[in-house]
Homo-oligomer: A and B are copies of this chain.
Amino acid sequence: MPQPIVFSFVGGNTGRWRVENASTIVGEPLKLVSRVDVHEQGKAPAGLVPVWELKGAISNTRYTKRAELVQLSARQETLGRQQATCAALIPIRKNSAWWDLAQDERRAIFEEASRHISIGMDYLPGVARRLHHSRELGEPFDFLTWFEFAPSDASAFAEMLHRLRATAEWEYVDRETELLLRMD
C-alpha cells in the first residue's frame, strides 16, 4: 500500500457534483455552495475557485475486526459506478469526551452498543462509501465520509443516516453537515 492518499473536497461554484440539499445536523454550518469537486490533493482541476476546502486521508481501519472486514469486502461496491449518480459528503467532528476514551471503550460504543458496522452493512451493496481521516491534518472536522448510490437507493440512504444518528456513538458528534449531491 502506498502512503495514505489525501483527498480534497472543494465547495464552490464549479465542480462535478451539484449540491441538491445542504443540512447542518449539529454545530457550526458550512458555508453554502452550489457545487462540490473531489480530487486527490495537488490535482485540483484548472479554474477551481474554492469557497471551502476539506481534506482527509484514506487510512487503515480503526475499529473493524477481521471477521467484519471479510463480511464487508464480500458485499461492498466500489466508487464510480455508472448508476451511482447520487452522492453525499458528510463531514463529522466528535467531541473531546470521545477522543479521551480508550480504544476498547470507543470500540464498545462504536459497534457493540451502536452497531455502526452492522447498520452500514444493511445498505450494501447499494450504498458505496469511502472514509477519510482529517483529525491529524488539523482540519475543522475529524472525518469526511463520501457515499455514492443510485437514485433508487436515496430513501434507503436516508434511513441509514437516521438509524446511525439515533445511536449512542452519535451523542459524541458535536459538528455534522450533510451535503446531498447529484451528478448532472
Contacts and interface: CB of A to CB of B under 8 A. Distances in A.
A102 interface: yes
Interface in A1-27: 1, 3-4, 6
A44 interface: no
Contact of A60 (B1, B99, B137, B138): B99
A103 B136 contact: no
A165 interface: no
Contacts of A64: 102-103
Considering residues A3, A41, A66, A105, which has the most beta carbons from chain B within 10 angstroms of its beta carbon?
Answer: A3
Contacts of A136: 4, 6, 57, 59, 133, 136-137
B65 A103 contact: yes
Interface in A54-92: 57, 59-66, 68-69
A184 interface: no
B99 A103 contact: no
The 6 nearest A-B residue pairs measured at CB: A1-B96, A66-B102, A57-B136, A65-B104, A136-B136, A60-B99
Interface of A: 1, 3-4, 6, 41, 57, 59-66, 68-69, 96, 99-107, 133, 135-139
21 contacts: A3-B135, A3-B139, A4-B135, A4-B136, A4-B138, A6-B136, A6-B138, A57-B136, A59-B135, A59-B136, A60-B100, A61-B103, A62-B62, A62-B103, A63-B103, A65-B103, A65-B104, A66-B101, A68-B102, A136-B136, A137-B137
